Amino acid sequence: MSLNVEWQLALSSAQLAALGTLVLFILTYIVSLFRFLWTRQSDNPEKRPPTIPYYLPGLCHAFRLEWSMDNFLAATVKRWGYQSPLKVRAGTFQFIMVTNPSHIRSIIRSSRILANRPIIMFAMRKWFYTPVDSLHHYNSHHGPHPHLHDLQLGINISQVTPSVIEAMMDSRILEVYPTLVGDFWEFDRQLANYSRRLPRWMIPSAYRTRDRQLANLKAWNRMAYQHSDCSKHGVDDADWDEFFGTRYIKAHEDLMRKHGLDDDAIASDNLGLLFGANANAVRAVFWYLFEALKDKPLQERLQTELHDCRNPQTDTLDIPQLSTKPLLQSTYAEVLRLRVSGIMTRTNEDVPFCLGPDSDYTVPRNTTMSTFSSITARNQSAWESVRPQIVSRPLDEFWPERFLVRGREDSKLKFSVDGLAECWMPYGGGQRMCPGRHFAKNEIIGTLGLLLDLFDCELVDRRAANRDQSDQRWVPYGTLPPTRRVVVKLTRRR
């Protein structure tokens, strides 16, 4: 009898604890909802962005962010709209989610007074493992300094085949480090775990992969530095170096050493360079080819533009000309709109920041403001207000002609992203827009052109391909991979 009573008492205690926890969660949500609505409807001309209602005291939105950031972001704009900036909290970590186009425009136009140093410092340390005593280099400049003009102007895409790595850094890097490609993609797969700051004992293989990459990049860099003069990268110097590869890599090496970075820091920086040149662009090439092969009429139209870029004297493609063709560019832009889920962050380090002359929201000093390209890409009213015909087809649908407009002087279709700076943001925006965007565009369009020109390409299972989607678990780390393997048959043309 006593055992039964004790069991009932224990059960009652557990039920009471569960009920108390449930009541706590409900009360937390009610209070946070009241604060949210009160702040949002306030007439204060300098009100702060309201915190999105939450159930978990202290942790706030942490579990929802960790479980599925994509679902959290989509549910947030569906529930609360795009007009107001919203505060997101996960314990002590917090940021302001900015979705209103006018607010985004204010942030973009204020690049000189807003910094992106916090996110750069985070990436360099947590992703690429830059030594702590070298991080000051990335924290020393408030504004962008275009030291490396070659990257901004774009590198000739003829150098970007068959391997981006080999084209940038010469084949010697693959001789010194033959497993570089496999290690790189394993590193890329672990990016979210590095971001979560998981300790080494929890993901030892991920850390070993990164350690191996850094050690081998350091060995290659030392070898190249010993055999080549990295200071010779002027316009009168050779475009190609047998040890460093492109002139840009030599200039990059020279700049790093002039800033006093040691071999370990340069290896981390080179890992970041490899990430920037490969992780997003390679996946974008996949989606570009995937969409072309799914739609035979589209593929034929793209190949017509490719034919227009053929040099009759050499019977080869004029690769730079590919990036001037309207449909090739529009399809490229649509691929990035739907398949890239990146984040643009800015921090007002010195003073509070007003989100525009017509806004009554002021962001407190030293607060991170974040804009997500996957959210701006689907803001129906924002796109429609700029160019009504651009939403003739739903924004959730892939439409390769979305960025084509009729010319004023003639009726020819032209590619244009004019007026879409707050909507189409795969490279961010403002002065700190990705400096490698021109290189990436040439790389993506040029690689597709070469694939369609040199090979007969076809999807092995077209019906299954129609079910393939982007893997939303990668939000917001850039170009999303597919949810499963896609088999493509390539037959070399004779």
Q: Under a CB-based contact definition with an 8 Å cutoff, are residues 72 and 64 in contact?
A: yes
Residue for token pair 């909507």:
423
Q: Under a CB-based contact definition with an 8 Å cutoff, are residues 361 and 49 in contact?
A: yes
How far, in Å, CA of 240 to CA of 379, rounded? 44
What is the C-alpha R_g of the chain?
25
Helix, strand counts (H, E) of the chain: 20, 16
E-only strand ranges, 112-268: 240-241, 245-246
| Backbone φ/ψ region at 53: left (φ over 0), alpha (ψ -120 to 50), beta | beta
CB contact set of 358 (below 8 Å; sequence gap of 6+): 102
What would the DSSP string read from start to end of 322-354?
A: HTT-HHHHHHHHHHHHHHEE-EEEEE--SS-EE
CB contact set of 450 (below 8 Å; sequence gap of 6+): 161, 317, 319
The per-residue b/e assignment along 463-486, b for 16 or more CB within 10 angstroms, e otherwise, is: eebeebebebebbbbbbbbbeeeb
434 among annotated binding-site residues: yes
Bridge partners for 479 per DSSP: 340
How far, in Å, CA of 445 to CA of 286, rounded? 11
Residue 402, token pair as written in the block: 């979305």
CB atoms within 10 A of CB 25: 14
- The residue among 127, 90, 329, 317 whose CA lies nearest residue 214 is 127
How far, in Å, CA of 114 to CA of 112, rounded? 6
Q: Under a CB-based contact definition with an 8 Å cutoff, are residues 342 and 370 in contact?
A: no
* Residues annotated in a binding site: 434
* Residues annotated in a binding site for heme: 434
